């Protein structure tokens, strides 16, 4: 997106410059020519001259609408990640970025990605508001406690790029920095196998948590239906007790783990306790990946 963002930015600069010059030159010319005591003729001054008023209303309106259409298009392209994007989880905290790849690799203040592939970041904070900012990619998005926010990019050139927190978040805000390392796909595959590899995918971590916290007792096909079955759930419409439907995405599953009675599935009693103080944000993300892995059609 960087070149498209830059093109819009330079266009806005150019428009501002042109109009600033028109106004400034007009002011300077009039101030000099019609200063007090100058002999210039004041005859024929215009009042209520319709054509010129139409021109200076309609031309800026057209320019503004043109900018609106251009920037709206760009905005939507930036906001909507491609369907085939690889997904990486980000948890912000005072004062570091914790990142986990679906393959299980964890890193802190570093983000390794392959070149030429769209990457979607699924981000949350475990304390205050942070902002995940990669200037070279022209993307920045607030990272909030209590919900997920997303942004995406597709790196085009291998190399290292700055990563900043762009929301003042306390004493060491300025130290909440890192780097994005863009690698050739083969190098990225190698990296996945090495350094930070745990050998355990997020979904497998999630499966282990699913057992440890006894989720299986209620959430399985043959458990007497105390809780909804999770197979094939991810990405599907869920009918809620109130009659509405909701898509079972990351946000919904996160809420259902931390605040189970918030959106009850139709036909089930509010039996489930909250897991708010028992699970870390990383563990919630792993459980989500596990639930997603139960839906092969929506898995990446």
- Taking CB under 6 A as the rule, does residue 133 contact ligand CUA? no
Q: Which of 98, 101, 112, 173 binds ligand CUA (CB under 6 A)?
A: 173
Question: What is the closest distance, in whole angstroms, from the C-beta atom of residue 102 to ligand CUA in the complex?
Answer: 24
Question: What is the closest distance, in whole angstroms, from the C-beta atom of residue 130 to ligand CUA in the complex?
Answer: 3
Q: Which of 123, 163, 165, 203 binds ligand CUA (CB under 6 A)?
A: 165
Place of tokens 């570091």: 96
Cβ–Cβ under 8 Å, residues 295 and 233: yes
Q: Which of 122, 123, 134, 176 binds ligand CUA (CB under 6 A)?
A: 176
Q: Which two tokens stand for residue 262?
A: 């918030």
Across 27-53, b (16+ Cβ under 10 Å) vs e yields eeeeeeeeeeeeeeeeeeeeeeeeeee
Question: What is the closest distance, in whole angstroms, from the C-beta atom of residue 95 to ligand CUA in the complex?
Answer: 6
Reference 258, options 269, 246, 272, 271; nearest CA is: 272
Residues 60-99: x where in contact with ligand CUA by CB under 6 A, - otherwise, as a string? --------------------------------x--x----
Q: Which residue's CB is nearer to ligand CUA, number 92 or number 178? A: 92
- Measured between alpha carbons, how far apart are the two ends of the chain, in Å? 23
Question: What is the closest distance, in whole angstroms, from the C-beta atom of residue 37 to ligand CUA in the complex?
Answer: 58
Query: Which one of the spans 10-18, 107-115, 164-172, 279-287 is the region binding ligand CUA (CB under 6 A)?
Result: 164-172
Reference 150, options 118, 103, 185; nearest CA is: 118
- Taking CB under 6 A as the rule, does residue 130 contact ligand CUA? yes
Q: Which residues contact 136 (CB under 8 A, 6 or more apart)?
A: 2, 161, 162, 180
- # binding residues, ligand CUA (CB under 6 A): 9
Distance (Å, whole) CA 74 – CA 1: 8
The residues binding ligand CUA (CB under 6 A) are 92, 95, 130, 165, 167-169, 173, 176
């Amino acid at each position: 997106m960087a070149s498209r963002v830059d093109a819009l930015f330079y266009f806005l600069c150019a428009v501002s410059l042109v109009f600033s010059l028109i106004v400034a030159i007009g002011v300077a010319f009039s101030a000099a020519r019609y200063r007090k005591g100058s002999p210039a003729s004041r005859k024929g001054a215009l009042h209520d001259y319709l054509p010129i008023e139409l021109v200076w209303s309609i031309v800026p309106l057209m320019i503004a609408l043109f900018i609106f259409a251009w920037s709206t298009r760009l905005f939507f392209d930036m906001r909507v990640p491609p369907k085939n994007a690889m997904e990486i989880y980000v948890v912000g905290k005072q004062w570091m970025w914790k990142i986990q790849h679906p393959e299980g690799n964890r890193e802190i203040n570093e983000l390794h990605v392959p070149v030429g592939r769209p990457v979607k970041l699924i981000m949350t904070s475990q304390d205050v508001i942070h902002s995940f900012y990669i200037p070279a990619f022209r993307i920045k998005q607030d990272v909030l406690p209590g919900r997920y926010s997303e942004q995406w990019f597709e790196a085009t050139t291998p190399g290292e790029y700055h990563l900043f927190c762009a929301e003042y978040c306390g004493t060491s805000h300025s130290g909440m920095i890192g780097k994005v390392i863009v690698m050739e796909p083969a190098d990225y595959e190698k990296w996945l196998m090495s350094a930070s590899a745990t050998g355990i995918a997020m979904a497998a971590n999630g499966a282990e948590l699913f057992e440890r916290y006894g989720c299986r007792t209620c959430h399985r096909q043959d458990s007497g239906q105390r809780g909804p079955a999770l197979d094939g759930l991810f990405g599907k419409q869920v009918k809620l007790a109130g009659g509405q439907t909701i898509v079972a995405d990351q946000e919904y599953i996160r809420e259902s783990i931390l605040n189970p009675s918030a959106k009850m599935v139709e036909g089930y009693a509010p039996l489930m306790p909250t897991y708010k103080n028992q699970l870390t944000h990383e563990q919630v993300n792993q459980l989500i990946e596990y639930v997603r892995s139960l839906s092969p059609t929506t898995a990446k």
